[in-house]
Amino acid sequence: MQRVVTYPRWVLRLCLGFLSLLVVLNVIFPLPLDKARNVSPVVLDRYGGWVAGFTVDDGIWRIKADLDVIDPRFVEHLISIEDARFYNHSGVDVGSIIRAARSWQRAGKPVSGASTLTMQLVRQIEPRPRTVPSKIIESFRALQYELFLSKDEILELYLSHISYGGNIDGVHAATLTYFKKPPSELTDAEIALLIAIPQAPEARRPDLWPNVAKRGRDKILAKLRDKERLSDLQYKEATEMPVTVLRNPMPETAWLSARSISEKGETLRSTLDMRVQRDVEAVAAQYLETLPKNVNVALTVIENDTMAVRAHMGSGGRDRDGGWLDMTRRYRSPGSTLKPFIYGLAMDDGLIDGGSWINDAPVRFGSYRPENFNKRYYGQVRIHEALRHSLNIPAVTVLDQIGGLRLEETLTAGGMDVVRLRGDSEAAGLALALGGAGITVNDLALGYAALANGGEARPLRWRENDKPSRPVRMLSQSSADELTSILEQSPTPDGQVPAWLSPDFPAIAYKTGTSYGFRDAWAAGYTDKWTVVVWVGRPDGAPRNGETGRKAAAPLLFDVFAALPREDGHKPYIKDETAPGGLKRIKDPIEAGPQILFPPNGAELLSSQFGDTARGFTLSARAKDNQVRFFVDGQKVDLENRRSIWRPETPGFYEVRAVDARGREAVSRVSVLAFQEIADPRF
C-alpha cells in the first residue's frame, strides 16, 4: 500500500504566502540589472587582442568579466575562500548564518562573515550601511538574483563589480592595472592578492600600501595551503614574491578610433589589426619627431578586399596641438585629391582617354578664373601628364564638361560625404576640382579604395562582425584601371625609389593635394592590397607656408606602405605606351570663341582719374592664335606697347567686347566708379 505524505494546512498556507510575497516584492522592487550590467566599453582587435577601454559614467574602470578568459584556478580559489557552498545555496547560506551567529555568541563579537558571493554582489551594486535591516534587504536581493540569473552569470557580475581600490572594479581591470596583463594566466601570488584586496580595498591597495597588501596576500596563501590547494613549496615560493608598488595606466592603442566605434557596456571586436597598427604608429611617431608640436597627422589604412580598417590614427598623440581631436572625421579641403574622379567620369563618358590632348593655358569660366599651382602653363599636354603633375586648368576644364554637380553626386552615391565650402554657385561647383569642398580622411580613403577595387565603392568596415555591403559603382572597371596605371607613374617623393626599380615593392598609385593657403597637406594612395590616406597639418587650420602634399604628406604615405605586410603576387608595373591614334581631344572653351579674362562680366572697376590722363585698364582675353581686338561701347581700343589700354572718359556703365580673327566675340558688361584718393598723414 502506497503511503501518502501530507502537510498541515498552515505549512501550505505559509509557503503560499511566502511565494506570493516574493512575487509582489519582485514587482515592487525589480532587480537593477541595468546598473549591474553597467560596465566599461572595450574594443578588441580582429584577433581579440586589447585595443582600448573606457571608464563608465562615474569614472570607474569596470571591465566585464568573462569566465572563459579568467584563470580557472583563481575562480576555484576564490570560491573556496569566500563562499565554499556557492553552487549549492540559493543566494543565502543558512548554515553559514547559523555558524556565524554561534561564533559571535561565544566570542562576544563578530568572528566570521556569512555573506555569500551573491550577497556581496548586491552590496557592490547597491551599497547600504552595515546593519541588520540592510542584511535582510541584501538577502532578499540575493534570492532575486538567484531566481533570475544562472550561477555563472552571477559570478561574472561579481567579478566585474568587486572593488579593487580607487576607481578599479573587477578582476580584469585589476590585472591590467596591477599586473599589466589580462586575467587569463595568473601566478599563485597574484591569485592570492586578487582575493585579498577586495576584503579591504583601500587599506590593501598595492600601489599605496604594498606592505599591508603583502600581509593580506600571505594570509590568503596560508588559507589556501591549509585547504590543501597549495603545497608547502608553492606557498613558500608565493610568499617570497614581492608586491608591485606601481599602478600601471590602462593600456590603450588607437584610442580615438576605439572611442568612435565603442558601444556602452559592450566588448566588441573591431577590424583593427594590432600588429599593423603598432607598425604604422611607429612610422608616424618617427615622422612626427621632425614636425613642430602645433602640427599633427591623421591616417587611415584599409584592406581593399574586405574594406576593413586595419590601422587608424585620429591624431599623432595627445601631447600635440589638437591631439584630442579625431582629424580623420574632420572636414578639410582635399586640395587636388579629387582630380582622379573628375578624369574618371570623363573617361566613362568617352570624352577623354589617358592619351588625349588638352590645353593648359589661362582660361575663365564665367566669374571663375583658376590658376595652376606654380602659376606656369604648359600648353598642349596629355591627360595622363595633367593628372600626374596635378595641373589645375585641365582638371577644371574637364569638370566644366561633366559638371560639378555630377561629380558631387557620384562621390555622394559612393558613400563620400562632400561639403561645399563656397555655396552652390557655378564657380563653387568647378572649385571642387581644386579643393573647394570639405571631406574627411575616412571618406577620401573610401573613394581611393574604390579605385583600387575597379571603381566599386563600399562602406568602411570598423567591426569584425559587420557584413560586407553591396558595392556601388562609381567608375567603370576600364576607367579605374587606366587611372591606376596613370597614378602608379606619378613622380615619387624625394628619396623614394620608383616602383619599376624595386621589383619587390608594389607600385603605389597615389595623388597628393594641397589646400588653399597651405592649410592641409594630403597624400592618398593604393596598391593591390592596401589603401592609405594621410593628412598633415595644423588642427586649427592655420597655414604652413610651402608645405605641400608632395613635400609634407607623401613621404609619410610611402613610409606607411613600406611598414605594411607585403602582398603576394602584386600586379607588375606597366609604363605608358604611345597613345593610340584617333583619341579625342576634349573641347577647349576657346574653340567656341574668345574669352575675356579682364574685366570679368559684372565687375565694378574703381578709377581716380578719367580721360587721356588716366592710367587706364589693361584689357585681356584668350583667343585662338591670340588674335583678338577690343571694343568699348562700339569704339575700338588702340594698342599701346602691344597691350589694349582702355581709359574711360567718365564713371558709368560700359560694354567691353572682344572679337577674334573669325569674327566671334565675347562681352563683359562692367561699371566704373570714381573715388578720391585721401592722403594718410601717417605715411
469 is catalytic: no
249-253 contact pairs (CB < 8 A, 24+): 250/53, 250/61, 250/173, 250/176, 250/177, 251/50, 251/52, 251/176, 251/180, 252/51, 252/52, 252/53, 253/51, 253/52, 253/277, 253/278, 253/281
194, 81 Cβ separation under 8 angstroms = no
527 vs 509: CA distance, rounded Å: 6
Distances (CA, A) of 240 to 33, 170, 226, 234: 42, 26, 18, 10
Q: What are phi and psi of 674, to 5 degrees?
A: -100, 145
- The DSSP H or E segment spanning 75 is helix 72-82
- Number of Cβ within 10 Å of residue 642's Cβ equals 5
For residues 338 and 396, give the distance between their C-alpha atoms in angstroms, rounded to a whole number. 11
Alpha-carbon gap, residue 567 to 330, rounded angstroms: 31
Quick one: which H or E segment has residue 392? helix 392-402
Helix, strand, coil distribution of the chain in percent, nearest 5:
40, 15, 45
Neighbours of 11 (CB within 10 A): 10
* Continuous segment of H or E residues that includes residue 659: strand 652-660
Do 549 and 519 form a contact (C-beta atoms < 8 A)?
no
Is 309 in contact with 460 (CB distance < 8 Å)? Answer: yes
DSSP line for 496-561:
PPPGGG-TTSPPPEEEEEE-GGG-EEEEEEE-SSEEEEEEEE-TT----TT--HHHHTHHHHHHHH
Q: State the cell numbers at 8.
A: 498541515
Q: Is 40 helix (H, G, I), strand (E, B) or coil?
A: coil
| Closest-CA residue to 120 (of 81, 83, 73) | 83
State how far the Cα of 294 lies from the Cα of 310, in Å rounded to an integer: 27
Return d(Cα 135, Cα 239) in angstroms, integer. 35
Within 13 Å of residue 678, how many CA atoms lie on the same side as its CB? 2
CA angle 477/529/328 to nearest 5° reads 95
- Per DSSP, helices labelled H in 108-182 are 117-125, 132-148, 151-161, 171-178
Q: CA 466 to CA 288: how far, in whole Å?
A: 33
Is residue 577 annotated as part of the catalytic site, yes or no? no
Q: What letter would DSSP give residue 647? A: -
Residue among 40, 82, 479, 490 flagged as catalytic: 82
**Alpha helices, H only, 253-361:** 255-261, 274-288, 339-348
Q: Strand, helix or coil at 269? A: strand
SS (H, E, C) 222-262: HHHHHCCCCCHHHHHHHHCCCCCCCCCCCCCCCHHHHHHHC
Using CA atoms, how far apart are residues 658 and 666, in angstroms rounded to an integer? 5
Question: Which 3-state string (H, E, C) describes 427-480?
Answer: HHHHHHHHCCEEECHHHHHHHHHHHHCCCEECCCECECCCCCCCCEECCCHHHH
Q: Given 160, 333, 336, 479, which residue is catalytic?
A: 336
Can you read off the three cell numbers belonging to residue 21? 510575497
Q: Which residues are catalytic?
A: 82, 336
